[in-house]
Structure 1
């Protein structure tokens, strides 16, 4: 697939950006969002499929948590190769391929989704949906290359937020199917998505571009893996995106298992949190552009700890209204944090370039090179947080019949994220005369 290639690309040049670059970048962003949106819907498909799995399927709540955990795990792992596929094959070319790959898990689910299918078959099909999780990594890496640093928070937030909305949309479609046709017709939902996947692939082929300056750079990958900031940001992203995707997968199951909601009742509530968290993500990026990602991220983790405390109380008191209020607030805060943390990544590597004496395009190129390479690793580790959340819920429900213990663990983790953000990116370094200092307060 030869595709369309742009040979020269310099978004930091104001003249180029205003005359040519912005129009092209926005067009690629639009169709990137469409493809990533469908990818997220397919990745989180089993958060809805388990609502269709009544007693006749013979799968207990622990087994259902393991199904959605498997999808989360595979989605996290494939993010690493998907990141480097952009530079190897081109952003436009890989968007087409990654969209078409979504036909495999969707078609497989359509074939097997009925009582009597073995649990191992369901497990395999759930694993296949992980390819939808990879779409995020390649899409973010691609869009990161199109926009100048001053616009990255907004662009990456919009790209990711539009993709994240795929989670509540597939849940809303599931609600519509359950409400109209009942909880015994999951194939209707799958039949809706098969043509949408083809639409996303066709638009990507016709309207997107490849950037020739973005080449596969194994040196950048190795440098990103060696840089401690890659792993610090991965840790913080576990707290924000890991929470978003983990809660998105598990919310409906928690409502059914702990609060006795029917599939229709659960489906009518599960989409609200992911929808708000997705819509708010660009706001997190914009706030980070204006006030600094580290500051927004710090106070966001404090607020997440507060919301989790509310959820712990509601879980112990068995109060569904308070539980829903706390959980919805958590979703909103995960969205804000997703936007602010992802803005931090290119800004951190730009700050390192400036501290090393680079200026102008050299500093910008260094920032694009290292941040693009690190995003795949950060995104993969962050998504593994979703697996951790689902496994924590599984263990908590197996042991005590409620999710209270799991929420207590999440509360402690958010406190650790708050401490790490302050210690690394906001605490004033000791003054060292005549030596360039890295300052991250504005990242």
Structure 2
């Protein structure tokens, strides 16, 4: 019988075991939900800071002494995406070494630097492009918060509830993309398009508040602590790369489109900053709200099955975008793009649900006493790896749009054709690796992802 969990200084809880039904009902659920709420708050602000340049570029015009080309603006949205992706691995590792609560405090407080710097320099006429590229790189720290937050939260919840919990955590964070764009819209509507510093200024007190609440109310748990080398161990598993590929298609699309949406509308249809800001928040908002739905559907039907049908729908939505672009229909283009955002959210939830399913299926086949604890640790490590690789998809999205709009056609069709081909590839991979019947696979009705896992 496992020892009862106990606390020690530094808000540490040792012996955390959410699979123990008695402990979970008596204490675990309440503690886990409290940490989930605060994790969502901190991650939400991190996402807002990370994606703040999707708003800043809409303000950049000769009116404030910052006239940049479309190509330069797409570059400004690419840099924070790249840095945020690269930081996800060390951020995921950090939470397994220092504790979820401790790292949340540090990573949230660190957001003050890029936010305050952006608020200052974006109001300085004549500032050179390289300065903004550096600022964009600094805001990339907000992108790392996602990986550490997801790694932390997955250890708090039992496997049967992880789809919903991870969906809420990620969805609440992802919605920060929409909220910062909504803040931008309000600033444009109330103060005009010459006061971008107000957007960054809104977040300074919120960062301080979130860091303080994390310090006072969150907990560290020993279940999230991994032995050195957990990430190296997980990257040797072939499923780490299949999952990462699928996450490029879902989260890479979500964050890439989130950064690029406003610029695409401006360049495809000649929208003004106000017109673009009026619509840009809708896609990330609905996509974020759809993420918990993807997790809930995956809890019921299995992550792989939901992922398969979702990629099919993403391919169809991309095809509709091509039709709308060819016909010059703004309403159809906008509707298809927002639908694509929703589908990226559903896919984010379903792909992340697949991760613990892979290792839990293996643990069920193992006679090792700590198999399920090891499964949780490897799940956390893979979430960091997949989160980092998946976020690089956002870099790909922005660079592809940059090349497409900078080409002779000066529209996004070449980029859309590329994305369509990639979604078809993800569709084939999901079926071939996780759904196709084959000898030696562990098949369960509720969790189709386990079908791709063998005892080997």
| TM-score greater than 0.5 by the shorter chain | yes
2:44 aligns with one of 37, 41, 45: 37
* Alignment partner, residue 317 of structure 1: 327
Once the two structures are superposed, residues 30-82 of structure 1 have per-residue CA deviations (whole angstroms, 9 ceiling, x without a partner) of 00000000000000000000011013312101000001100100000000000
How far apart, CA to CA, are the structure 2 residues paired with 1:272 and 1:201? 28
* Alignment partner, residue 301 of structure 2: 291
* 1:46 is aligned to 2:53: yes
* Alignment partner, residue 171 of structure 1: 181
Question: Is contact 2:226–2:377 with CA below 8 Å preserved after alignment?
Answer: no
* Alignment partner, residue 121 of structure 2: 112
Question: Is contact 1:244–1:274 with CA below 8 Å preserved after alignment?
Answer: yes
* Alignment partner, residue 371 of structure 1: 379
* Alignment partner, residue 411 of structure 2: 402
Could you say what the CA RMSD is over the residues aligned between the two structures, in angstroms? 1.2
* Alignment partner, residue 86 of structure 1: 95
* Alignment partner, residue 397 of structure 2: 389
* Alignment partner, residue 154 of structure 2: 144
Structure 1 residue runs without a partner (length 5+): none
- 1:425 shift after superposition: 0.2
How far apart, CA to CA, are the structure 2 residues paired with 1:151 and 1:107? 38
Q: TM-score, normalised by structure 2?
A: 0.94
How far apart, CA to CA, are the structure 2 residues paired with 1:252 and 1:28? 34
1:362 aligns with one of 366, 370, 393: 370
Question: Is contact 2:312–2:424 with CA below 8 Å preserved after alignment?
Answer: yes
Question: Is contact 2:17–2:223 with CA below 8 Å preserved after alignment?
Answer: no
* 1:231 is aligned to 2:241: yes
* Alignment partner, residue 111 of structure 2: 102
* Alignment partner, residue 28 of structure 2: 21
Once the two structures are superposed, residues 119-174 of structure 1 have per-residue CA deviations (whole angstroms, 9 ceiling, x without a partner) of 10000001100000000000000001000000000000000000011011000000
Question: Is contact 2:225–2:377 with CA below 8 Å preserved after alignment?
Answer: no
1:330 aligns with one of 321, 325, 340: 340
Partner secondary structure for residue 399 of structure 2: helix
* Alignment partner, residue 71 of structure 2: 62
| Count of aligned positions | 435
Partner secondary structure for residue 429 of structure 1: coil
How far apart, CA to CA, are the structure 1 residues paired with 2:130 and 2:229? 40
Question: Is contact 1:161–1:279 with CA below 8 Å preserved after alignment?
Answer: yes
- 1:363 shift after superposition: 3.2
How far apart, CA to CA, are the structure 1 residues paired with 2:230 and 2:109? 28
How far apart, CA to CA, are the structure 1 residues paired with 2:346 and 2:367? 31
2:16 aligns with one of 3, 9, 26: 9
Counterpart mapping for 1:144-163 below 5 A: 144-163=154-173
